[in-house]
Structure 1
Amino acid sequence: MRLFPLAVRGALLLVLTLAALMLHQAGARSVGSPVRTEIFVAVLALGGVVYLETIHWALRHRSPQQAIWVVLGMALAMRAALIPAPFLLSSDIYRYVWDGRVQAAGINPYRYIPADPALARLRDPAIYPNINRAGYARTIYPPMAQVVFAVVGRISQSVIAMKLAMLAFEVIAVLCMMRLLSMARLPPERVLIYAWNPLVLWSFACDGHVDAIAIGCLGLALLSRAKRWDGVGGALLAAATLVKFLPIVAAPAFLRGGSLWRPAVAGAAVIALLYGLYASAGAHVLGFLPTYGSEEGLNDGSGVWLLAGLGHLVALPHAAVTIYLCCAAICLGAVALLIARGRWAAPEHDVVALCRDTAILAGCVTAVISPHYTWYFAWLALPSVVAPIPAILWLSVSPVVLYLDPFNDRFIWPGIVYLPAAGLTLFSLWKRHAPRAVVIAASEGHPK
């Protein structure tokens, strides 16, 4: 029975998750000593290898119907182990809880920095001391995220409550992808592509990153678009965008073969409504966002992988970032135009094309901005459930190695992530366009 090999792989991922968790040194604000951190990342990387091998196996074998319960059971077990854990890799969740607390007190979260005397009465020894950038940065999180923080803050102002809220959005995403798999006539156990992804697990179940809200909204948006509910899909995509701005890049996939005005109007209405809720903050409604690019090296190019590499070879001109962005915009615009001009086919193929195009757009934009933070890559696993693309799958899990930065350099170590992704992309393009006989010969190792 092919259920046993799947269960063994899931159990191995669970063991590796527990092993990585046990490396945490009690009382440490991260994993612990440098040696512990290195071992921790090695274990996560091994988990990534097991995960990729599991996908390779699952895509080539049809499992019995009970396989979905193994997938969901293991996914739940891994998350149950991580949710009670202290933050290991990021303290962002304390800002989420703080923003919820501020709103529960009837205060606009964009108005003050946490250290402002006006908020002194809200400080406590559990949340406030752990807020990063508390002394100089207003919240950076867009309005949809703030709505969720506000709801959770009125129920419980604890880290566990916020993590459970993120888990709820993950559940929504998984259910949506299972429905999309059914519509595409694909095996439901493929949802493990998202549910067992180690980067997803540690980003959301352990650190509770806000990206989980965006992923839940994106899952709903994809399902709505697959059902041809254009306006609903546009509204939900806008909601996902106002959690983390990156999902807006999926818009061409939502417009493919469908109407323009319904999703555009619905999306614009959602954006106006959500920003309107916090309009009393005036220009501060953008929070820390205008300064964030400078802090992360996006304004001068030092935080962009390709530009950081070029900077090792030559002195970059002041216009390097502008030139880079213009070239990227032209290339991405061409890809978006090709996708948007596509046509709908049979329903099951429409679902695959929708997720494939979303994955391509998401992967391209994520690679262009080359984030330094690992959780920015986690959303790539969602559309990959229906449309697995080797380069996108690699980008969705390999950034676990970026928890380390042994060279303190934005090019050398991140090359472990981006160079194989580029290679996989080129190979996929060659395989798609090369004569079939040549591809078969190459795969067999016999040139003709």
Structure 2
Amino acid sequence: MQNAGVNPFAHAPDSPALAHLRDANWERVAHKEVPTVYGPVLLAVFRLAAMTGLGPVIFKAIFLAADLALCAVLARQFGRAAWPWILSPLVILEFSWSGHEMSLAILFFMLGLTRRSPLWLGLAILTHLMALPLALAANLRERRWTFWLTLAGVVVAGYLPFAGAHLWTGLTHFAGRWRFNDSLFGLLVSLVGEGRPRPVGGTIWFSFLAAKWLAAGAVLTATVWAWKRQYSPARAALVVGGTLLLFSPVVHPWYVTWLLALVCAEFRWWPVVWSGTVLVSYLGDTGFWKFAQYAPVFATLTWEWYRASIRVRWSENNR
């Protein structure tokens, strides 16, 4: 689409106006009715890779290279603490084997986190929007106006070529009605009900609106908590990112790799456990499979929270 001069934010793959661009791969495109949700950096990578004419192999090679570069960055920055990423079956499956594009976003984000660089963080956001709340959380106490001006400038510059009322159509589709492999979000839905879907425009509908507002409140609470407790950048990002995924209506396995990268800087067992159990989601999205996935995660999270509270009490009693 891009190589034909078409804005992928403005047109979905099944648009009648693009019928002349359909080839043998068109039938295999998922969610043809939705314009792109990918960031400008990924779109640029896709466009350049497609121009080589090498097919899927070049895409996998690019994102495998990003994963290998990330392994090098983590090993150099954190030494042996990088083992959760380097040895993770989830990382090997999603990036080394499948060549998933998320590896590039996480590479940029970890470069931005470790170097406190607004340029790298901006590139991460332009690659995948999951980087946005994590970048904000990691820099809650950043007071340099040049930092925020640079970050905003990079993001705006990246989206500027695609600007228009259509820019967020695909993302609104995704946020409005999709649901997969959720945990606490499902609990919220059971408490407040599904509600009546509300139209946003055209064929876009927002479902589970009350539950989503509560989930957003949980993420905001986690952000304020991390700020008031003066957490380190990595810990703040881990707390906010973990809360976001636990309350998200959609949790694809590769989303958990964001937490796994942060674990190299701020070790916790529960994301490591989740990186293993999330593979169960490939077997099913029913109650049994969700229990098999999430029970060990919440058990480990509770155990680590209990141990931390004991240490805090012991420290206060021995002052």
Tell me if TM exceeds 0.5: yes
In the alignment, the residues of structure 2 paired with residue 156 and residue 217 of structure 1 have an alpha-carbon distance, to the nearest angstrom, of 26
Q: 1:239 aligns with which of 104, 123, 146?
A: 123
Report 1:84-95 matches (<5 A): none
Q: 1:335 aligns with which of 218, 222, 225?
A: 222
1:423: which partner in 2? 299
Quote the residue 2:150 is aligned against.
266
User: What letter is aligned with 2:305?
Assistant: L
- CA shift, 1:431, in A, is 0.8
Aligned to 1:133: 31
Whether the aligned pair in 1 keeps the contact of 2:81 and 2:264 (CA below 8 Å) is yes
Aligned equivalents of 2:166, 2:313: Cα separation in 1: 60
Instruction: Return closer, same or farther for 1:295/1:326 CA change in 2, 3 Å cut-off.
Output: closer
- SS of the residue corresponding to residue 250 of structure 2 reads coil
Give the aligned partner of residue 197 of structure 1.
Answer: 88
Q: Distance in 2 between matches of 1:167 and 1:285?
A: 29
Deviations, residues 41-76 of structure 1 (Å, cap 9, x unaligned): xxxxxxxxxxxxxxxxxxxxxxxxxxxxxxxxxxxx
**Structure whose CA Rg is larger:** 1
**CA distance in structure 1 between the partners assigned to 2:50 and 2:122 by the alignment:** 23
Residues 192 and 211 of structure 2 are in contact (CA less than 8 Å); yes or no, is this contact kept in structure 1?
Answer: no
**1:44-443 aligned within 5 A:** 102-125=1-24, 127-134=25-32, 136-156=33-53, 158-181=55-78, 188-225=79-116, 233-279=117-163, 282-297=164-179, 304-309=182-187, 316=193, 318=195, 321-341=208-228, 353-405=232-284, 409=286, 411-434=287-310
Q: Give a deviation string over 1:177-229, Cα, whole Å, max 9, x none.
A: 12321xxxxxx24323112211122222333322112111112111221xxxx
Alpha-carbon distance, 1:234 to partner: 2.5
The residue number in structure 2 matching 1:95 is: none
The SS at the match of 1:213 is helix
Contact 1:221 1:236 in 2 (8 A): yes
Which shifted more, 358-367 or 243-252? 243-252
Q: Secondary structure at the match of 1:283?
A: coil
CA distance in 2, matches of 1:158, 1:427: 47
Q: Structure 1 CA distance, aligned partners of 2:136 and 2:130?
A: 13
* Gapped regions of structure 1 (runs ≥ 5): 1-101, 182-187, 226-232, 345-352, 439-448
Gaps of 5+ in 2: 197-206, 315-319
Contact 2:38 2:127 in 1 (8 A): yes
Q: Partner amino acid for 2:168?
A: L
Q: Which TM-score applies when normalising by structure 2?
A: 0.82
Tell me how far apart the structure 2 counterparts of residues 331 and 308 of structure 1 sit (CA, whole Å): 14
1:129-159 Cα distance to aligned partner (Å, 9 max, x none): 321123x222221222212212222334511
CA distance in 1, matches of 2:59, 2:8: 17
Aligned AA (1:223): T
CA distance in 2, matches of 1:129, 1:163: 20
Once the 2 structures are TM-superposed, how far is the Cα of residue 118 of structure 1 from its aligned partner?
4.2
Is residue 188–residue 211 contact of structure 2 (8 Å, CA) maintained in 1? Answer: no
Partners of 1:223 and 1:385 in 2: CA distance: 11
**Deviation by residue 1:221-256 (Cα, 9 ceiling, x = unmatched):** 11221xxxxxxx223223222322222222344325
Instruction: Check the 8 A contact 1:360/1:392 in 2, yes or no.
Output: no
Give 1:271 shift.
Answer: 1.6
Distance 1:200 1:287, change over 3 A: farther
Q: Deviations over 1:267-289 (max 9, x none)?
A: 2111211111222xx22222422
CA contact (8 A) 2:274 2:297 kept: yes
Identity rate, percent: 21
The count of corresponding residues between Structure 1 and Structure 2 is 304
Residue by residue over 1:324-368, the C-alpha shift from the partner in whole angstroms, topping out at 9 and shown as x without a partner, is 444444443343234335669xxxxxxxx4333322222121111
Q: Which residue identity does 2:23 align to in structure 1? A: D
Distance 1:342 1:234, change over 3 A: farther
Conserved? CA contact 2:227–2:236, under 8 Å: no
Q: CA deviation at 1:400?
A: 0.4
Equivalent pair of 1:220/1:236 in contact (CA under 8 Å) = yes
